[in-house]
Amino acid sequence: MVVKNMDEKDQDVKIYEMIINTIIEKKIESVETLVTIMEEKSSYSKVEIIDAVILLKDEDKISLSLEGDTEKPRFLTFIFSETSYWYWGIVVVSIMSLFVTHFISENNYPMIYIRYVFGFIFVIFIPGYSLVRLTYLNYKLPYLTQILYSVCLSIFIVMIIGLVLNFTNYGLQQKIIIYAILGISFSLSLITLIRSFLRPYN
């Protein structure tokens, strides 16, 4: 017999209360919809959420269907929903990075610091974060872990891009590197977005 300590019991109570409150507030009718929303608004993993849902169903505290929503939402509706805010964050930062790179010269003080900030985020975070979102689509990583993985993977991706471009006719030109990072980041993000949209209906 496994005896839980007080912290574990408190965590169980919190997830049960959060599930019940979410069902009431969002008027959720299916397990898949509940799991998707809970993953976005909490730090609990998919397994923890499903285990808690099963326990609540067994105790007749909630009543949800096991099937997905009967009507599939439109893709345009999905990409502008709260679930896809991360994607638009990548788009905004990428566009701003392109803008400041093209229109703020290195001699333009103090505006050059804006270029440094957006350039740093664009190179050191965005490509890795896009890959993390795709790789861990079905898992909820802690925010600090996401940041660490994103930075490490971004450095790796940029190094690979530089290595590949070095053997082409373009060479290591700044604009070419920026466009390469942009293309990879957008491609990974779009694939993740499509997979997230199709996931509940596979």
What is each CA distance from 127 to 45, 157, 174, 180, 192, in whole angstroms? 24, 7, 16, 10, 13
List, for the chain, all residue ranges whose pLDDT scores fall below the cut of 50. Answer: 1-8, 67-71, 201-202
At 67, the amino acid letter reads E
pLDDT at site 5: 44
Residue closest to 28 by CA, chosen among 1, 59, 53: 53
Domain boundaries, the chain: 6-58, 75-201
In tens, the pLDDT along 47-82 reads: 778 778 878 877 777 776 654 444 455 777 778 877
pLDDT at site 198: 79
pLDDT at site 145: 92
Tokens of 16: 């049960």
Return the SS3 of 95: helix
Tokens of 184: 């990879």
Residue written as tokens 């005896």? 3
pLDDT at site 3: 35
Share of the chain above pLDDT 90, in %: 28
